[in-house]
Structure 1
Amino acid sequence: MSGPAEAPPSGLSGSQPTAQATGGDYSWFEDNGELTEGFCFTWIAGLDPGQVITRLGGRRLGAAGWRADWASFPGRRRGEAVMAVAAMPGWSLIVEDNGWLAFRDDLLERLSARTTVITHYRNVEYDSRFALIKNGDIQVAFDPYDSGDRTGSHPDVLLPAMRAAGLATDGQDSDDADATECAFALTERLTRVPMTTALLHAATYLVTAVYDADVAAWERENPDPGLQPAR
Protein backbone atom coordinates (compact mmCIF):
# COMPACT_ATOMS: atom_id res chain seq x y z
CA MET A 1 0.00 0.00 0.00
CA SER A 2 1.33 3.44 -0.88
CA GLY A 3 1.77 6.15 1.74
CA PRO A 4 -0.97 8.62 2.58
CA ALA A 5 -1.77 11.10 -0.14
CA GLU A 6 -0.96 14.66 0.76
CA ALA A 7 -3.99 16.92 1.09
CA PRO A 8 -3.93 20.56 0.13
CA PRO A 9 -4.13 22.89 3.11
CA SER A 10 -7.78 23.23 4.08
CA GLY A 11 -9.45 26.50 3.19
CA LEU A 12 -11.63 26.23 6.29
CA SER A 13 -10.35 27.39 9.63
CA GLY A 14 -12.20 24.62 11.46
CA SER A 15 -12.58 26.90 14.48
CA GLN A 16 -14.97 29.70 13.50
CA PRO A 17 -18.77 29.47 13.13
CA THR A 18 -19.70 29.40 9.44
CA ALA A 19 -23.43 28.61 9.59
CA GLN A 20 -26.42 29.41 11.76
CA ALA A 21 -27.47 25.92 12.94
CA THR A 22 -28.71 25.34 16.47
CA GLY A 23 -29.67 22.18 18.31
CA GLY A 24 -33.30 22.53 17.26
CA ASP A 25 -32.30 21.91 13.64
CA TYR A 26 -31.32 18.37 14.65
CA SER A 27 -34.39 17.37 16.63
CA TRP A 28 -35.06 14.85 13.86
CA PHE A 29 -32.15 12.67 14.98
CA GLU A 30 -33.70 11.20 18.13
CA ASP A 31 -37.07 10.74 16.40
CA ASN A 32 -35.42 9.05 13.41
CA GLY A 33 -33.80 6.40 15.61
CA GLU A 34 -31.42 4.99 13.00
CA LEU A 35 -28.22 5.50 14.97
CA THR A 36 -29.46 6.41 18.43
CA GLU A 37 -27.90 3.29 19.98
CA GLY A 38 -24.43 4.42 19.00
CA PHE A 39 -22.67 6.40 16.28
CA CYS A 40 -19.46 8.10 15.28
CA PHE A 41 -19.38 10.74 12.53
CA THR A 42 -15.92 11.92 11.45
CA TRP A 43 -15.46 14.70 8.89
CA ILE A 44 -12.15 15.20 7.04
CA ALA A 45 -11.66 18.41 5.04
CA GLY A 46 -10.18 18.36 1.55
CA LEU A 47 -9.66 14.59 1.20
CA ASP A 48 -11.61 12.24 -1.02
CA PRO A 49 -12.76 8.86 0.33
CA GLY A 50 -9.86 7.01 -1.29
CA GLN A 51 -7.33 9.26 0.44
CA VAL A 52 -9.15 8.76 3.75
CA ILE A 53 -9.00 4.99 3.40
CA THR A 54 -5.28 5.16 2.64
CA ARG A 55 -4.63 7.23 5.74
CA LEU A 56 -6.64 4.79 7.84
CA GLY A 57 -4.61 1.88 6.48
CA GLY A 58 -7.93 0.29 5.52
CA ARG A 59 -9.15 -2.18 2.91
CA ARG A 60 -12.08 -1.42 0.63
CA LEU A 61 -14.75 -4.08 0.89
CA GLY A 62 -17.08 -2.53 -1.67
CA ALA A 63 -19.57 0.26 -2.27
CA ALA A 64 -23.01 0.38 -0.69
CA GLY A 65 -25.89 2.63 0.24
CA TRP A 66 -26.88 3.91 3.66
CA ARG A 67 -26.43 1.28 6.39
CA ALA A 68 -26.49 -1.57 3.88
CA ASP A 69 -25.53 -4.13 6.54
CA TRP A 70 -22.07 -2.57 6.79
CA ALA A 71 -21.00 -4.58 9.84
CA SER A 72 -21.64 -7.88 8.04
CA PHE A 73 -20.26 -6.77 4.70
CA PRO A 74 -18.52 -9.67 2.88
CA GLY A 75 -14.76 -9.72 3.15
CA ARG A 76 -14.24 -8.50 6.70
CA ARG A 77 -11.47 -10.40 8.48
CA ARG A 78 -10.85 -11.11 12.12
CA GLY A 79 -9.71 -8.12 14.11
CA GLU A 80 -11.11 -5.56 11.69
CA ALA A 81 -13.57 -2.77 12.42
CA VAL A 82 -15.88 -1.55 9.66
CA MET A 83 -16.23 2.08 8.60
CA ALA A 84 -18.22 3.61 5.76
CA VAL A 85 -16.69 6.57 3.92
CA ALA A 86 -18.64 8.96 1.68
CA ALA A 87 -17.84 12.10 -0.27
CA MET A 88 -19.51 15.27 1.00
CA PRO A 89 -19.21 18.87 -0.27
CA GLY A 90 -15.60 19.81 0.55
CA TRP A 91 -15.21 16.92 2.97
CA SER A 92 -15.24 13.17 3.37
CA LEU A 93 -17.48 11.68 6.05
CA ILE A 94 -16.76 8.46 7.95
CA VAL A 95 -19.89 6.93 9.48
CA GLU A 96 -19.64 4.18 12.08
CA ASP A 97 -22.51 2.28 13.64
CA ASN A 98 -21.32 1.86 17.26
CA GLY A 99 -17.84 2.90 16.12
CA TRP A 100 -14.78 4.04 18.02
CA LEU A 101 -12.73 6.37 15.79
CA ALA A 102 -13.41 9.42 17.99
CA PHE A 103 -11.23 7.81 20.68
CA ARG A 104 -8.38 6.75 18.39
CA ASP A 105 -6.21 9.84 18.70
CA ASP A 106 -3.45 8.17 16.70
CA LEU A 107 -5.72 7.75 13.67
CA LEU A 108 -7.30 11.17 14.11
CA GLU A 109 -3.87 12.79 14.12
CA ARG A 110 -2.90 10.83 11.00
CA LEU A 111 -6.14 11.75 9.23
CA SER A 112 -5.67 15.44 10.02
CA ALA A 113 -2.20 15.90 8.52
CA ARG A 114 -2.33 19.24 6.63
CA THR A 115 -6.09 19.43 7.08
CA THR A 116 -8.94 19.54 9.61
CA VAL A 117 -10.88 16.69 11.23
CA ILE A 118 -14.07 16.95 13.28
CA THR A 119 -15.39 13.88 15.08
CA HIS A 120 -18.53 13.27 17.16
CA TYR A 121 -19.30 10.04 19.04
CA ARG A 122 -22.09 8.80 21.30
CA ASN A 123 -23.00 5.34 22.57
CA VAL A 124 -26.22 3.88 23.94
CA GLU A 125 -25.25 4.95 27.46
CA TYR A 126 -24.74 8.55 26.29
CA ASP A 127 -20.98 8.46 26.70
CA SER A 128 -19.91 11.05 24.16
CA ARG A 129 -16.93 12.85 22.66
CA PHE A 130 -16.53 15.78 20.27
CA ALA A 131 -13.09 16.79 19.00
CA LEU A 132 -11.46 19.20 16.56
CA ILE A 133 -8.07 18.14 15.21
CA LYS A 134 -5.91 20.24 12.88
CA ASN A 135 -2.67 19.06 11.27
CA GLY A 136 -2.04 16.38 13.89
CA ASP A 137 -2.94 18.63 16.83
CA ILE A 138 -6.01 17.88 18.98
CA GLN A 139 -7.10 21.47 19.51
CA VAL A 140 -10.13 20.75 21.66
CA ALA A 141 -11.98 17.66 22.88
CA PHE A 142 -14.97 17.44 25.21
CA ASP A 143 -18.08 15.50 26.15
CA PRO A 144 -21.10 17.43 24.80
CA TYR A 145 -22.95 16.50 28.01
CA ASP A 146 -20.21 18.16 30.07
CA SER A 147 -18.84 20.72 27.66
CA GLY A 148 -17.49 22.94 30.43
CA ASP A 149 -14.67 20.39 30.81
CA ARG A 150 -12.47 20.66 27.73
CA THR A 151 -8.99 19.39 26.89
CA GLY A 152 -6.60 20.00 24.00
CA SER A 153 -3.99 22.54 22.95
CA HIS A 154 -6.63 25.28 22.47
CA PRO A 155 -9.52 24.22 24.74
CA ASP A 156 -11.48 27.46 24.30
CA VAL A 157 -11.09 27.83 20.54
CA LEU A 158 -14.69 26.75 19.83
CA LEU A 159 -16.43 28.60 22.66
CA PRO A 160 -18.28 31.15 20.47
CA ALA A 161 -19.47 28.43 18.08
CA MET A 162 -20.40 26.09 20.93
CA ARG A 163 -22.54 28.73 22.62
CA ALA A 164 -24.16 29.73 19.35
CA ALA A 165 -25.04 26.08 18.67
CA GLY A 166 -26.66 25.81 22.10
CA LEU A 167 -24.10 23.86 24.11
CA ALA A 168 -23.66 24.66 27.80
CA THR A 169 -20.09 25.85 28.39
CA ASP A 170 -20.37 27.04 32.01
CA GLY A 171 -19.94 23.70 33.73
CA GLN A 172 -23.65 22.85 33.80
CA ASP A 173 -24.60 19.45 32.40
CA SER A 174 -26.69 19.50 29.22
CA ASP A 175 -29.97 17.71 28.66
CA ASP A 176 -29.27 14.28 27.14
CA ALA A 177 -30.97 14.78 23.78
CA ASP A 178 -30.15 18.47 23.46
CA ALA A 179 -26.41 17.92 23.87
CA THR A 180 -26.30 15.55 20.90
CA GLU A 181 -28.41 17.86 18.77
CA CYS A 182 -26.26 20.87 19.66
CA ALA A 183 -23.08 18.94 18.83
CA PHE A 184 -24.50 18.18 15.38
CA ALA A 185 -25.29 21.88 15.00
CA LEU A 186 -21.72 22.75 16.01
CA THR A 187 -20.44 20.37 13.34
CA GLU A 188 -22.59 22.10 10.74
CA ARG A 189 -21.30 25.50 11.80
CA LEU A 190 -17.74 24.25 11.20
CA THR A 191 -18.24 22.22 8.02
CA ARG A 192 -20.94 24.35 6.36
CA VAL A 193 -22.65 21.05 5.48
CA PRO A 194 -26.13 20.52 6.95
CA MET A 195 -26.35 16.85 7.90
CA THR A 196 -29.83 15.65 6.93
CA THR A 197 -31.42 12.25 6.46
CA ALA A 198 -31.63 13.02 2.74
CA LEU A 199 -27.89 13.72 2.58
CA LEU A 200 -26.99 10.54 4.47
CA HIS A 201 -29.39 8.32 2.55
CA ALA A 202 -28.38 9.61 -0.89
CA ALA A 203 -24.63 9.10 -0.47
CA THR A 204 -22.60 6.17 -1.75
CA TYR A 205 -20.35 4.69 0.92
CA LEU A 206 -17.07 2.86 0.51
CA VAL A 207 -17.29 0.13 3.13
CA THR A 208 -13.83 -0.19 4.64
CA ALA A 209 -12.17 -2.64 7.03
CA VAL A 210 -9.57 -1.25 9.43
CA TYR A 211 -7.52 -3.49 11.72
CA ASP A 212 -7.95 -2.67 15.40
CA ALA A 213 -6.18 -4.36 18.30
CA ASP A 214 -9.18 -4.00 20.62
CA VAL A 215 -11.48 -5.67 18.10
CA ALA A 216 -8.91 -8.44 17.64
CA ALA A 217 -8.68 -9.00 21.41
CA TRP A 218 -12.47 -9.18 21.75
CA GLU A 219 -12.74 -11.64 18.87
CA ARG A 220 -10.11 -13.89 20.39
CA GLU A 221 -12.47 -14.23 23.36
CA ASN A 222 -15.55 -14.45 21.13
CA PRO A 223 -14.40 -16.22 17.96
CA ASP A 224 -16.49 -16.10 14.79
CA PRO A 225 -15.64 -19.16 12.67
CA GLY A 226 -17.13 -17.45 9.62
CA LEU A 227 -14.37 -14.84 9.48
CA GLN A 228 -11.06 -15.30 7.73
CA PRO A 229 -7.88 -14.60 9.72
CA ALA A 230 -6.30 -11.17 9.44
CA ARG A 231 -3.43 -11.04 6.97
Structure 2
Amino acid sequence: METPAARLPESSPTGLAVSSDYGWFEANDELTEGFCFTWIAGLTPEQVVQRLGGRRLRTTGWRAEWESFPGRRGGETVMAVAGMPGWSLVVEDIGVLALRDDLLERLSARTTVVTHSRNVELDSRFAVIKNGRLQVAFDPYDPGDRTGSRPDALLADMRAAGFTPDDQDSDNADATETAFALTERLTGVPMTAASLHSASYLVTAVYDAGTAAWERENPNPGLQPAN
Protein backbone atom coordinates (compact mmCIF):
# COMPACT_ATOMS: atom_id res chain seq x y z
CA MET A 1 0.00 0.00 0.00
CA GLU A 2 1.29 3.45 -0.86
CA THR A 3 2.30 5.64 2.07
CA PRO A 4 0.78 9.14 2.46
CA ALA A 5 4.18 10.68 1.69
CA ALA A 6 4.15 9.01 -1.72
CA ARG A 7 1.02 10.73 -3.00
CA LEU A 8 1.55 13.20 -5.80
CA PRO A 9 -0.02 16.52 -4.72
CA GLU A 10 -2.93 17.60 -6.89
CA SER A 11 -2.96 21.37 -6.36
CA SER A 12 -2.34 22.59 -2.84
CA PRO A 13 1.28 23.18 -1.79
CA THR A 14 2.51 20.83 0.92
CA GLY A 15 4.85 23.38 2.50
CA LEU A 16 5.91 27.02 2.49
CA ALA A 17 9.36 26.82 0.87
CA VAL A 18 10.35 29.44 -1.72
CA SER A 19 13.51 29.88 -3.77
CA SER A 20 15.12 32.30 -1.32
CA ASP A 21 15.16 29.53 1.31
CA TYR A 22 17.82 27.78 -0.77
CA GLY A 23 20.17 30.68 -1.36
CA TRP A 24 22.63 28.83 0.88
CA PHE A 25 23.28 26.19 -1.78
CA GLU A 26 25.31 28.26 -4.24
CA ALA A 27 26.99 30.20 -1.42
CA ASN A 28 28.02 26.95 0.23
CA ASP A 29 30.06 25.97 -2.84
CA GLU A 30 29.42 22.23 -2.42
CA LEU A 31 28.25 20.17 -5.39
CA THR A 32 27.74 23.39 -7.34
CA GLU A 33 29.60 22.10 -10.41
CA GLY A 34 27.12 19.28 -10.70
CA PHE A 35 24.69 17.34 -8.54
CA CYS A 36 21.77 14.97 -8.47
CA PHE A 37 19.38 14.72 -5.52
CA THR A 38 16.77 11.95 -5.71
CA TRP A 39 14.08 11.42 -3.06
CA ILE A 40 12.24 8.09 -2.71
CA ALA A 41 9.18 7.97 -0.48
CA GLY A 42 8.78 5.28 2.15
CA LEU A 43 11.92 3.24 1.39
CA THR A 44 14.96 2.68 3.58
CA PRO A 45 18.47 3.25 2.18
CA GLU A 46 18.97 -0.54 2.09
CA GLN A 47 15.79 -0.97 0.03
CA VAL A 48 16.93 1.78 -2.34
CA VAL A 49 20.29 0.07 -2.88
CA GLN A 50 18.51 -3.20 -3.59
CA ARG A 51 16.24 -1.60 -6.19
CA LEU A 52 19.21 0.10 -7.83
CA GLY A 53 20.98 -3.23 -8.11
CA GLY A 54 23.97 -1.62 -6.41
CA ARG A 55 26.95 -3.04 -4.55
CA ARG A 56 27.33 -1.72 -1.03
CA LEU A 57 30.74 -0.11 -0.54
CA ARG A 58 30.59 1.39 2.95
CA THR A 59 28.71 3.70 5.31
CA THR A 60 30.24 7.13 5.78
CA GLY A 61 29.53 10.77 6.55
CA TRP A 62 29.02 13.69 4.21
CA ARG A 63 31.43 13.34 1.28
CA ALA A 64 33.99 11.77 3.62
CA GLU A 65 35.61 9.70 0.87
CA TRP A 66 33.39 10.41 -2.07
CA GLU A 67 36.17 11.56 -4.38
CA SER A 68 38.16 8.31 -4.24
CA PHE A 69 35.31 5.79 -3.68
CA PRO A 70 37.45 2.75 -2.76
CA GLY A 71 36.06 -0.46 -4.24
CA ARG A 72 34.42 1.07 -7.29
CA ARG A 73 34.80 -1.03 -10.43
CA GLY A 74 34.97 -0.02 -14.04
CA GLY A 75 31.64 1.12 -15.48
CA GLU A 76 30.17 1.89 -12.07
CA THR A 77 28.91 5.19 -10.78
CA VAL A 78 28.70 5.92 -7.06
CA MET A 79 25.58 6.99 -5.19
CA ALA A 80 25.25 7.84 -1.50
CA VAL A 81 21.90 7.09 0.16
CA ALA A 82 20.72 8.70 3.41
CA GLY A 83 17.59 8.19 5.43
CA MET A 84 15.38 11.28 5.81
CA PRO A 85 11.97 11.60 7.56
CA GLY A 86 9.63 9.45 5.48
CA TRP A 87 12.05 9.32 2.55
CA SER A 88 15.46 8.17 1.39
CA LEU A 89 17.72 10.68 -0.36
CA VAL A 90 20.25 9.66 -3.01
CA VAL A 91 23.06 12.21 -3.42
CA GLU A 92 25.42 12.18 -6.40
CA ASP A 93 28.31 14.44 -7.28
CA ILE A 94 27.73 15.13 -10.99
CA GLY A 95 25.33 12.19 -11.00
CA VAL A 96 23.35 10.21 -13.53
CA LEU A 97 20.26 8.94 -11.72
CA ALA A 98 17.94 11.76 -12.85
CA LEU A 99 18.67 10.76 -16.46
CA ARG A 100 18.22 7.02 -15.95
CA ASP A 101 14.48 6.55 -16.50
CA ASP A 102 14.89 2.78 -16.18
CA LEU A 103 16.26 3.12 -12.65
CA LEU A 104 13.75 5.82 -11.72
CA GLU A 105 10.88 3.59 -12.83
CA ARG A 106 12.28 0.73 -10.75
CA LEU A 107 12.75 2.95 -7.70
CA SER A 108 9.22 4.32 -7.94
CA ALA A 109 7.37 0.98 -7.88
CA ARG A 110 4.44 1.45 -5.44
CA THR A 111 5.83 4.82 -4.34
CA THR A 112 6.93 8.25 -5.60
CA VAL A 113 10.34 9.57 -6.65
CA VAL A 114 11.34 13.23 -6.95
CA THR A 115 14.65 13.93 -8.68
CA HIS A 116 16.60 17.09 -9.52
CA SER A 117 19.96 17.29 -11.31
CA ARG A 118 22.27 19.87 -12.86
CA ASN A 119 25.65 19.58 -14.58
CA VAL A 120 28.50 22.05 -15.01
CA GLU A 121 26.92 23.38 -18.22
CA LEU A 122 23.65 24.07 -16.34
CA ASP A 123 21.79 21.29 -18.14
CA SER A 124 19.12 20.55 -15.58
CA ARG A 125 16.19 18.20 -15.03
CA PHE A 126 13.40 17.99 -12.47
CA ALA A 127 11.06 15.00 -12.55
CA VAL A 128 8.39 13.24 -10.52
CA ILE A 129 7.86 9.54 -11.14
CA LYS A 130 5.05 7.60 -9.51
CA ASN A 131 4.62 3.82 -9.55
CA GLY A 132 6.85 3.41 -12.59
CA ARG A 133 5.26 6.18 -14.61
CA LEU A 134 6.73 9.61 -15.36
CA GLN A 135 4.24 12.20 -14.10
CA VAL A 136 6.05 15.50 -14.77
CA ALA A 137 9.49 16.39 -16.13
CA PHE A 138 11.00 19.76 -17.05
CA ASP A 139 14.17 21.79 -17.12
CA PRO A 140 14.03 24.25 -14.19
CA TYR A 141 15.52 26.87 -16.52
CA ASP A 142 12.58 26.28 -18.89
CA PRO A 143 9.56 25.43 -16.70
CA GLY A 144 7.06 26.16 -19.46
CA ASP A 145 8.14 23.09 -21.42
CA ARG A 146 6.89 20.08 -19.45
CA THR A 147 6.46 16.44 -20.40
CA GLY A 148 4.98 13.41 -18.69
CA SER A 149 1.55 11.86 -18.28
CA ARG A 150 0.40 14.76 -16.06
CA PRO A 151 2.49 17.77 -17.14
CA ASP A 152 0.30 20.30 -15.32
CA ALA A 153 -0.11 18.39 -12.05
CA LEU A 154 2.36 20.60 -10.15
CA LEU A 155 1.39 24.04 -11.45
CA ALA A 156 0.20 25.37 -8.08
CA ASP A 157 3.30 24.11 -6.30
CA MET A 158 5.57 25.44 -9.04
CA ARG A 159 4.08 28.93 -8.86
CA ALA A 160 4.16 28.95 -5.06
CA ALA A 161 7.84 27.92 -5.07
CA GLY A 162 8.73 30.76 -7.47
CA PHE A 163 8.51 29.32 -10.99
CA THR A 164 6.61 31.00 -13.82
CA PRO A 165 5.45 27.79 -15.52
CA ASP A 166 3.48 29.58 -18.25
CA ASP A 167 6.66 31.18 -19.67
CA GLN A 168 8.86 29.50 -22.25
CA ASP A 169 12.63 29.62 -21.73
CA SER A 170 12.43 31.95 -18.72
CA ASP A 171 16.19 31.67 -18.01
CA ASN A 172 15.48 32.13 -14.31
CA ALA A 173 18.75 32.82 -12.47
CA ASP A 174 17.19 31.25 -9.36
CA ALA A 175 16.02 28.11 -11.16
CA THR A 176 18.10 25.74 -9.03
CA GLU A 177 16.97 27.28 -5.74
CA THR A 178 13.35 27.26 -6.92
CA ALA A 179 13.59 23.58 -7.83
CA PHE A 180 14.89 22.81 -4.34
CA ALA A 181 11.94 24.74 -2.89
CA LEU A 182 9.54 22.77 -5.08
CA THR A 183 11.14 19.54 -3.87
CA GLU A 184 10.55 20.54 -0.27
CA ARG A 185 6.91 21.31 -1.03
CA LEU A 186 6.49 17.83 -2.49
CA THR A 187 8.43 15.87 0.12
CA GLY A 188 7.62 17.96 3.19
CA VAL A 189 11.30 17.66 4.18
CA PRO A 190 13.56 20.75 4.19
CA MET A 191 17.03 20.15 2.78
CA THR A 192 19.66 22.17 4.62
CA ALA A 193 23.45 22.14 4.80
CA ALA A 194 23.10 20.89 8.38
CA SER A 195 20.82 17.98 7.41
CA LEU A 196 23.16 16.93 4.60
CA HIS A 197 26.27 17.19 6.77
CA SER A 198 24.81 15.31 9.73
CA ALA A 199 23.34 12.37 7.80
CA SER A 200 24.88 8.92 7.53
CA TYR A 201 25.29 7.71 3.93
CA LEU A 202 25.19 4.19 2.58
CA VAL A 203 27.56 4.39 -0.39
CA THR A 204 26.77 2.08 -3.30
CA ALA A 205 28.24 1.40 -6.73
CA VAL A 206 25.76 1.03 -9.61
CA TYR A 207 26.64 -0.04 -13.15
CA ASP A 208 25.91 2.65 -15.74
CA ALA A 209 26.40 2.14 -19.47
CA GLY A 210 27.18 5.83 -20.01
CA THR A 211 29.91 5.73 -17.39
CA ALA A 212 31.31 2.57 -18.95
CA ALA A 213 31.39 4.18 -22.40
CA TRP A 214 33.21 7.24 -21.05
CA GLU A 215 35.78 5.07 -19.30
CA ARG A 216 36.49 3.18 -22.51
CA GLU A 217 37.56 6.50 -24.00
CA ASN A 218 39.29 7.58 -20.78
CA PRO A 219 40.76 4.42 -19.18
CA ASN A 220 41.47 4.40 -15.45
CA PRO A 221 44.01 1.63 -14.73
CA GLY A 222 43.29 1.91 -11.01
CA LEU A 223 39.78 0.46 -11.36
CA GLN A 224 38.94 -3.21 -11.26
CA PRO A 225 37.15 -4.49 -14.38
CA ALA A 226 33.39 -4.59 -14.17
CA ASN A 227 31.94 -8.06 -13.61
Task: Give TM-score scaled by structure 2 length.
Answer: 0.96
Q: CA RMSD of the aligned region, Å?
A: 1.1
Residue 82 of structure 2 is aligned to residue 86 of structure 1 = yes
Q: Distance in 2 between matches of 1:122 and 1:177?
A: 13
In structure 2, the partner of 1:48 is 44
Q: Is the 8 A contact 1:126 1:176 kept in 2?
A: no
The answer to which of 69-78 and 116-125 deviates more is: 69-78
Unaligned runs of 5+ in 2: none
In structure 2, the partner of 1:33 is 29
Q: Distance in 2 between matches of 1:202 and 1:174?
A: 35
In structure 2, the partner of 1:14 is 8
Q: Distance in 1 between matches of 2:117 and 2:8?
A: 18
Q: Secondary structure at the match of 1:208?
A: strand
> Deviations along 1:186-220, whole A, 9 cap, x unmatched?
00001010000000000000111000111111111
Within 5 Å, give how 1:182-221 maps onto structure 2: 182-221=178-217
Unaligned runs of 5+ in 1: 1-7
Which AA in structure 2 matches 1:162?
M
Identity %: 74
Q: Is the 8 A contact 2:145 2:168 kept in 1?
A: no
Q: Distance in 2 between matches of 1:155 and 1:213?
A: 29
Runs of 4+ in 1 over 4 A off after TM superposition: none
Q: Distance in 2 between matches of 1:210 and 1:130?
A: 21
The answer to which of 9-18 and 130-139 deviates more is: 9-18
Q: Secondary structure at the match of 1:160?
A: helix
Q: Distance in 2 between matches of 1:176 and 1:157?
A: 21
Q: Distance in 2 between matches of 1:170 and 1:117?
A: 24
Q: Secondary structure at the match of 1:214?
A: helix
Within 5 Å, give how 1:42-191 maps onto structure 2: 42-191=38-187
Task: Give TM-score scaled by structure 1 length.
Answer: 0.94
